[in-house]
Structure 1
Amino acid sequence: MYKQNSYGLMMVVLMVSLTIGMISAAKTAPSSLSSTLTASNIKSLSSMIESHRPSNGGLYDNDLKETFYAVGALTRLSQPIVKDSELCKQVRGLIEQRSNDIESVFYGVSILSEIKCLAANPVPLSLIENAVQKSLENGNINELAAAVNTVFLLLDAKSISYDVANLESAANRLVSLMDADGEFKLESGSDDASIINNGVAYFTMARLSHRLKSVAGISNLVDKVVSKLPSVVSSASDSASGFVWHDLATTSSIFRGIVALTSQSEKVANTITPLQIQRIGDYLLRFKSTASLQDAFNLVIGLKSCAKNSIGQPLSVVLNPTTFDSSASGKKLVTVQIHDIFDHPVATQVTVAKVALATARNTAVISNKELSDNQLDVSELKLGSYVADIKINPSEDNFHPFTVTRTITVSGAAAVRDFKLIVADNKEALANSKQIFTVESQNQLSLELPAAKTARIFFRVVSGDQPFVAQQVGVRFVSKVNPSIETVVQAVFSVDSYSYVINSRDLGKLLNFQSGAYAVDVLVGDSSIAPLNWQVGQLTLNFDQAATGTTRYPVHQPIDHRFRVPESRPPQVVSQTFTLLVLAPFVIFLIGLPVLGANLNRFPGGMGFIYTVAFIGCAALVGLLIVTYWFSLTMVVTLRYLGLLLIPTVFFGQKTLSHFAQDRVSKPKQL
């Protein structure tokens, strides 16, 4: 297609794309959860977790840590643990065996606590005291956290007696691992801090603060940690996938730690917004179908933190249904369904702030309507795509009010009516022109428009008897002689109709001033209707300027390439003679060896034989490589192979020479 025509089509496509983009943005405004963890998701997740456990009821994946992840996820989802008594006994035995490994002890005690069998399988402090004390004093951040949380789990189960004041030094040591940017080091001697360690640090600090609230100075430590939270929150990646720190495990752990700190400091609520929490929830829900026990655990603890926090619990807002047939009878009701992240219904007061056509957002057809039973009557809406702004005001305090934007579509059929073509001498005379050509049905128009005339296309798009404002309306001109010459122009809407003014200058540029007969079509597109192509008929256009080429690529003559005539070569006998002369020294060498007395009588035996044969073989390969280079190889490839061959050649050469030297020294000199 020619250049000007392409530009015209590109402009139309650009305007259409912008329109659709704005509507899509309205549809996907990130003010509520995109999905939830439904009962079906929980069932599938539980089945996946149980598939990792052997049929005899042992450890999940035969590993204590994997069992910790599996049990933690199942109990938080209120799912039963099959054969829990056998599991408790096996875990208690592993704690006994690994009493010096504080992380294994923590996993084991946590499992017993989750299954609620810690009282029946007590873990005495004397068994793990050395590991706890060592971790509190010298362990890395994970070992320190494991020791602290193990003590708290045993205290909660009333299994041990322990003075929590002894943990004050652990709190100080934990905060000392934080650097200037708010990230935590793995251990005291390390210079590198990582945000991966922040989640376990926050959660442990929150639990220490709760237990040590009577200890002077503990609140200062919490404030020091909280003061760095804005920097940590700002370091997260806010992308299409959600609000993320590094990966699932880090995101879930940090967010759980932040939620835990909210109970210890009111300042935490100002560091993260409800919208960011909703974005975290959207990211976590992407892992609903995970096959990893660790991911399942991190998913669940992250979702639990989303569902139980005082900053702002995210909700899902779904309209059901969202599409209606304009020809259907009876009431058309839209139900607004509000659920939390675990798909539990939430009591709310719903107000529809505004409902407007997507193409006329400033004109509301419904406004400030409080819903009864969360149902909106849209029976009066005409054909079209509507954007609804809905205010959600939850009854519970932990849910904050917010507004969402949703789309409601009333589908049906549209038609073109009252098509007219008005012709005048100029644009100003169109209003009083008597030359009006009416088109009642398709393919009825047949008219020639002189170059000096101006015309206006006028028509209405209706649904039933009501005007319909479609998202995309244009007029297409296609040449009857050369169908590759075409253009689509945008029709302008005013009051209740569409129009387009034809003049030889503007339309001529789009059609490259190609005079002739053109098929005229009205194109109507909208998300609520099937695309409409209303064929008007034929319009013969005449342009007073000379037509230009219809292609940007001129015709070129075929390329005739002739190869250089090969130079004459000497007779074959000359080449053969030259080859014999080149090979003559090698032949003379072979013949001269026996003449000079060369023989194998003194060829070494034992390891000397192996070294000598290997050296001769390597030397022969080097010679063969040089010959191959002469015929086919490149210099770069040859040098690469030569470098590899030189290593064994030098090695075996040195061994061979050493052997002969020792043999010469060991044998008596013959006179």
Structure 2
Amino acid sequence: MLSCRFFPLFLLLAFIVITTGISPSSYLSGEDKARLKKVFDHAWAQKDLSNVHYSLAGYNLLGITDVPDAPNTCKFLQSNLEAVTEVEAIFHAFSAAAGLKSCPLKLSANQKQLLSNTLQSEETSVHNIFQAFEASKLSGTPVDEAKLIKSLTSALKKDDNLLNLGLSFHVAAKLESDPKQFFERIEDAIVQADEVDGKFLQFEGGLSITGMIISGAYNLAAKMKTPPAITPDQAVKFANYFLSRKSVQTAKGAFYLLDAMKVLTVNNFHVPVSVTLASSLSIRDDTPWLRIRVTNLLGEALGPMKVVAESTKRLQDNAVVMSQTPFATVQGDQTLYELNMMKTSMTRGFYQLSVKVDPEKDGEKFVGNSGAIITVKVMSEMTLDPLELWVTDADGSVASNVLKATYPNKVGSVLEADDHQKVMAKFVVKDKRGGAPLVAHQAFVRLNRVGTSEEVIFVAEPDSSSKSYKFDLDVGAKEKTFGRQSGLYTMHLIIGDATISNPIEWELGNVNLEFRSGSGDQVKKSKFDEYKSKPEIKHMFREPEKRPSDVVANAFSLLVLVPLVLLLALWMKLGVNLSNFPLSLGAVGFHIGLGCIFGLYYVFWVQLDMFTTIKYLFGLAIVTFLCGNSVLAKVADERKKAGAAVDPVASKPGKVGH
């Protein structure tokens, strides 16, 4: 049968590109940008101030200048601004209008006063200060920066969480005054980033907060003309996080994603370099060129680059087969570079390239440009020597004539074999390029019973001594595998490998197998019907035990009633005093409840099950308990009153005579 030990090897077929370093391994492609545009389109249709704001800002970041239905959108913003009395709504309205070519908005006197009060009050939150500041800047309203800085500083002292720090960076980046005190807080924010798998950095709160902090930090650094407190490796890890969130589905998240990625492509301190595979994973003799794409995070060219494969390692034995191999620039595309992988006649297998990218100018700002890992596979064609096929006795003493076949032809005649014989085959797989024998990951023989869909598969094992494959089918030993179904079977040889470019399925011919008769139908049912639906399993509770006879049951019932009869007889002989029985609702209810409980026990004995009995007993017990408690309380109260009504006899001490 087909061995399971070969299955993991086929997983290599799904192994396309591996990056073991932290260098970005993707970028925002055209398909990604088109999908983000659909996110903005969907939010745009909702006609909500915040969604219109983020959609318009996202369109601008995507380079879309023709905004759909711009005149009506402007009217929508103007009509909503007139009745606005909240800072947040004013902020969204003016931010959205900034994304239109021509959409003038005017603030009322009350709205101007609202913005001014918000910026100058020391009780205002950082969030409101940011929105009021942005709205003032966009509307052309003057801002008292001294009071603004005082308010912002006071708000940060009260709450300097990550969101507030990010917002303060954006405000400080647009101040005319010295924002040094806010610039120094960048380090306080960065140290709070969470690292994931050694490749990603993000802040608690997700994409929006992470994008806001990173874009604000680099914008503030640009104003200060000083690198932010972010290391090159951290910049790359933040870039990897943004690339992993390309599938964001909200307009706000998409805006902050594009804003952060835009900042990471235009700043003067850290620009992550993305090295991705641009050609097929498979390298063949007819397609020997490996192409890679070198871009920024937005898929844009970075200018002239010197691209070198520092090392090319064969994964099979970790041998370095090439080192310091330069890539050539592809004419007509500044982002593509190519390398002829077959220049050194590489053998088939998987190879790992460590790529380094050196810009010709402004190289200091590029990060993640060294140690980018690209994995490819070199494939080759295989050839088969003429296959030999024969039948021999189980002990190998007598063999039939050897039949030979050359791929893709069949053998000349039908083989005959019974359960005392073996079907044998031998073949050699060779590499077409060098002619050397090779071992394929998968080599097996399939036998299909003619006229049915039944098939049996056997592994062809390689022989290390002769460098060939052998197939050995002991018909008698495998009769259960075939279900003892005699008849004509078609033989197929199937060979495949992740690094073989021409896998084959070769119909070798027919073989007539004869098995012992008599049990074929039974074995067939157990072998070939194992995947059919099984009979329904019906679960049944244990049947109740047989009740005793009526005589035994009645006699036992009488014995149980004897103590009760004896009790009643003694009461009648001694006399029953009912004078102290309180005629109250509680007393009557208690005794009735007690009697009902005894009656319930009797019904449980003859008819009810335990769960139903417990349900009824729960209700009766509550009533009986309440009534009994009332009776006992009343009896105790009466005894207390009776004791107080009786005068106590005073005992006087006698005098002792002398």
TM-score normalised to structure 2 length: 0.58
Shift of 1:250: 3.1
SS in 1 for 2:245: helix
| Residues 238 and 244 in structure 1, CA contact (< 8 A), matched pair in contact too | no
Task: Specify which of 123, 137, 146 is matched with residue 155 of structure 1.
Answer: 137
Shift of 1:383: 4.9
Q: CA 1:565 to 1:172, structure 2 compared with 1: closer, same or farther past 3 Å?
A: closer
Q: Distance in 1 between matches of 2:97 and 2:597?
A: 69
| Residues 284 and 378 in structure 2, CA contact (< 8 A), matched pair in contact too | yes
Task: Specify which of 80, 104, 108 is matched with residue 93 of structure 2.
Answer: 108
Q: How does 1:544-559 map to 2 (within 5 A)?
A: none
Q: Distance in 2 between matches of 1:164 and 1:469?
A: 77
SS in 1 for 2:191: helix
Shift of 1:475: 12
Q: Which residue of 2 aligns with 1:228?
A: 188
Shift of 1:376: 2.0
SS in 2 for 1:228: helix
Shift of 1:169: 0.9
Q: Which residue of 1 aligns with 2:512?
A: none
Q: Which residue of 1 aligns with 2:371?
A: 403
| Residues 54 and 252 in structure 2, CA contact (< 8 A), matched pair in contact too | yes
Q: Distance in 2 between matches of 1:384 and 1:644?
A: 85
Task: Specify which of 350, 354, 359 is matched with residue 389 of structure 1.
Answer: 354
2:299 is the alignment partner of 1:343: yes
Q: CA 1:39 to 1:643, structure 2 compared with 1: closer, same or farther past 3 Å?
A: farther
SS in 2 for 1:338: strand
| Residues 281 and 341 in structure 1, CA contact (< 8 A), matched pair in contact too | no
2:214 is the alignment partner of 1:255: yes
Q: Which runs of 5+ in 1 are unaligned?
A: 55-59, 179-183, 186-197, 420-439, 443-458, 477-482, 501-520, 535-563, 586-615, 655-671
Q: Distance in 1 between matches of 2:92 and 2:302?
A: 35
Task: Specify which of 125, 130, 135 is matched with residue 114 of structure 2.
Answer: 130
Q: Distance in 1 between matches of 2:247 and 2:463?
A: 41
SS in 2 for 1:391: strand
SS in 2 for 1:115: coil
The aligned amino acid for 1:85 is P
| Residues 145 and 177 in structure 2, CA contact (< 8 A), matched pair in contact too | no
The aligned amino acid for 2:431 is V
Q: Distance in 1 between matches of 2:598 and 2:21?
A: 69
Q: Which residue of 1 aligns with 2:62?
A: 77
SS in 2 for 1:344: coil
Q: Percent identity?
A: 14
Q: Which residue of 1 aligns with 2:477?
A: none
Q: CA 1:85 to 1:283, structure 2 compared with 1: closer, same or farther past 3 Å?
A: same
Q: Which residue of 2 aligns with 1:631?
A: 608
Q: Which runs of 5+ in 2 are unaligned?
A: 331-336, 388-403, 407-427, 446-455, 470-492, 507-541, 565-591, 631-658
Q: Distance in 1 between matches of 2:109 and 2:617?
A: 67
Q: CA 1:260 to 1:484, structure 2 compared with 1: closer, same or farther past 3 Å?
A: same
Q: Distance in 1 between matches of 2:197 and 2:385?
A: 49
Q: CA 1:271 to 1:413, structure 2 compared with 1: closer, same or farther past 3 Å?
A: closer
Q: CA 1:155 to 1:488, structure 2 compared with 1: closer, same or farther past 3 Å?
A: same
1:102-135, Cα deviation, whole Å (9 max, x unpaired): 22222122112222546x2122565242355246
Q: CA 1:122 to 1:86, structure 2 compared with 1: closer, same or farther past 3 Å?
A: same
Q: Which residue of 2 aligns with 1:597?
A: none
Q: Which residue of 1 aligns with 2:234?
A: 273
Q: Which residue of 2 aligns with 1:320?
A: 279
Task: Specify which of 426, 429, 434 is matched with residue 465 of structure 1.
Answer: 434
Q: Which residue of 2 aligns with 1:308?
A: 266
Q: CA 1:646 to 1:322, structure 2 compared with 1: closer, same or farther past 3 Å?
A: same
Task: Specify which of 105, 125, 143 is matched with residue 121 of structure 1.
Answer: 105
Q: Which residue of 1 aligns with 2:243?
A: 282
1:595-634, Cα deviation, whole Å (9 max, x unpaired): xxxxxxxxxxxxxxxxxxxxx9xx9999999968982344
SS in 1 for 2:278: strand
Q: Distance in 2 between matches of 1:303 and 1:212?
A: 26
Task: Specify which of 144, 149, 159 is matched with residue 168 of structure 1.
Answer: 149
| Residues 174 and 201 in structure 1, CA contact (< 8 A), matched pair in contact too | no
The aligned amino acid for 2:83 is Q
Q: CA 1:473 to 1:252, structure 2 compared with 1: closer, same or farther past 3 Å?
A: same
1:293-312, Cα deviation, whole Å (9 max, x unpaired): 33333333333233334323
SS in 2 for 1:285: coil
| Residues 325 and 411 in structure 1, CA contact (< 8 A), matched pair in contact too | yes
1:132-182, Cα deviation, whole Å (9 max, x unpaired): 524653556xx533433433443355x22222222121231243145xxxx
Aligned length: 491
SS in 1 for 2:339: strand
Shift of 1:461: 5.0
Q: Which residue of 2 aligns with 1:92?
A: 78
SS in 2 for 1:269: coil
| Residues 106 and 146 in structure 1, CA contact (< 8 A), matched pair in contact too | no
Shift of 1:393: 2.5
Q: Which residue of 2 aligns with 1:450?
A: none
Q: Distance in 1 between matches of 2:212 and 2:596?
A: 65
| Residues 199 and 256 in structure 1, CA contact (< 8 A), matched pair in contact too | no
Q: Distance in 1 between matches of 2:463 and 2:171?
A: 65
Q: CA 1:68 to 1:370, structure 2 compared with 1: closer, same or farther past 3 Å?
A: closer
2:296 is the alignment partner of 1:334: no
Q: Distance in 2 between matches of 1:25 and 1:334?
A: 13
Q: Which residue of 1 aligns with 2:550?
A: 572
Q: Which residue of 2 aligns with 1:298?
A: 256
Q: Which residue of 2 aligns with 1:65?
A: 50
Q: CA 1:524 to 1:170, structure 2 compared with 1: closer, same or farther past 3 Å?
A: same
Q: CA 1:371 to 1:487, structure 2 compared with 1: closer, same or farther past 3 Å?
A: closer
SS in 2 for 1:160: coil
Shift of 1:276: 0.5
SS in 2 for 1:342: coil
Q: Distance in 2 between matches of 1:71 and 1:360?
A: 54
Q: Distance in 1 between matches of 2:463 and 2:155?
A: 66
| Residues 281 and 377 in structure 2, CA contact (< 8 A), matched pair in contact too | yes
1:4-33, Cα deviation, whole Å (9 max, x unpaired): xx9xx87x989x69x969x95973335544
Shift of 1:209: 5.4
Q: Distance in 1 between matches of 2:599 and 2:101?
A: 79
SS in 2 for 1:266: coil
| Residues 352 and 367 in structure 1, CA contact (< 8 A), matched pair in contact too | yes
Q: Distance in 1 between matches of 2:37 and 2:260?
A: 17
| Residues 22 and 236 in structure 2, CA contact (< 8 A), matched pair in contact too | yes
| Residues 171 and 208 in structure 1, CA contact (< 8 A), matched pair in contact too | no
Q: CA 1:70 to 1:372, structure 2 compared with 1: closer, same or farther past 3 Å?
A: closer
Q: Distance in 2 between matches of 1:622 and 1:147?
A: 77
1:577-603, Cα deviation, whole Å (9 max, x unpaired): 9889999x9xxxxxxxxxxxxxxxxxx
2:225 is the alignment partner of 1:245: no
| Residues 472 and 524 in structure 1, CA contact (< 8 A), matched pair in contact too | yes
Shift of 1:270: 2.7
Q: Distance in 1 between matches of 2:58 and 2:622?
A: 61
1:511-567, Cα deviation, whole Å (9 max, x unpaired): xxxxxxxxxx99984434466899xxxxxxxxxxxxxxxxxxxxxxxxxxxxx9998
Q: Which residue of 2 aligns with 1:204?
A: 168
SS in 2 for 1:211: coil
The aligned amino acid for 2:319 is N
Q: Which residue of 2 aligns with 1:357?
A: 314
TM-score normalised to structure 1 length: 0.57
SS in 2 for 1:273: helix
The aligned amino acid for 1:226 is I
| Residues 417 and 462 in structure 1, CA contact (< 8 A), matched pair in contact too | no
The aligned amino acid for 2:175 is R
2:339 is the alignment partner of 1:376: yes
